[in-house]
Amino acid sequence: MSMDLSIPRHWRRKGPLYRLEAAKCKECGKTHYPPTASCPYCGSKLLERVQLPRVGVLESYTIVYSPPEGARQESPVIVGLINLGGVRVVAEMTDVDPGELSTGMKVEAVLRRVREDGEAGVIYYAVKFRPLLEAGRSGEGQTAEPR
Ligand SMILES: [Zn+2]
């Protein structure tokens, strides 16, 4: 899987992204996220939806100090490569200072408002990840509420 950093494109996707739904290929057995119409590994269209765990491990991250224009409140932007039960997901990190990040730390998915289109009255949300704070608290089955 190539590391796709085009997060604005992901913003336009809806339900499956929020629910952390991935697609598992019935032919080669590999899972990819976000789900697409055909397997990026073998091209098969025999895919089934699977739910990724909401808690994973931060494998690596990139800090972007000059984010693209467009109502960015958070700067710098931290983009993490997160391993969710064996599936690698690229997503923005939130609720964390760059200095607090370390590879191998546990992170959990949360839903965050990313921007608001005042004229259209549309609010966009995206899945982001934050450090798993409370010990013993599992993200399994939790609903990530927008704030
Ligand atoms: Zn495949």
Distance from Cα 24 to the centre of ligand 1, integer Å: 8
Domain residue extents for the chain: 7-51, 55-131
Element (H, E) at 127: strand 122-131
Q: What's residue 125's pLDDT? A: 76
DSSP three-state, residue 40 = coil
Q: Which residues of 70-81 are buried (b: 16+ CB within 10 A; e: fewer)?
A: eeeeeeebbbbb
Distance from Cα 1 to the centre of ligand 1, integer Å: 12
Average the pLDDT over 17-40 and give the result: 89
Please name which of 51, 61, 52 lies closest in space to residue 104, comparing C-alpha atoms: 61
Distance from Cα 40 to the centre of ligand 1, integer Å: 7
Q: pLDDT tens, 75-106? A: 788 999 999 999 999 999 998 988 999 999 99
pTM (two decimals): 0.69
Distance from Cα 142 to the centre of ligand 1, integer Å: 30
Distance from Cα 33 to the centre of ligand 1, integer Å: 13
Please name which of 123, 143, 126, 104 lies closest in space to residue 7, comparing C-alpha atoms: 126
Q: pLDDT tens, 118-132? A: 777 777 778 899 999
Contact status, residue 103 vs residue 81, Cβ threshold 8 Å: no
Distance from Cα 38 to the centre of ligand 1, integer Å: 8
Q: What's residue 116's pLDDT? A: 75
Average the pLDDT over 123-144 and give the result: 67
Q: What's residue 34's pLDDT? A: 84
Q: Is the pLDDT of residue 140 over 50?
A: no
Contact status, residue 103 vs residue 59, Cβ threshold 8 Å: yes
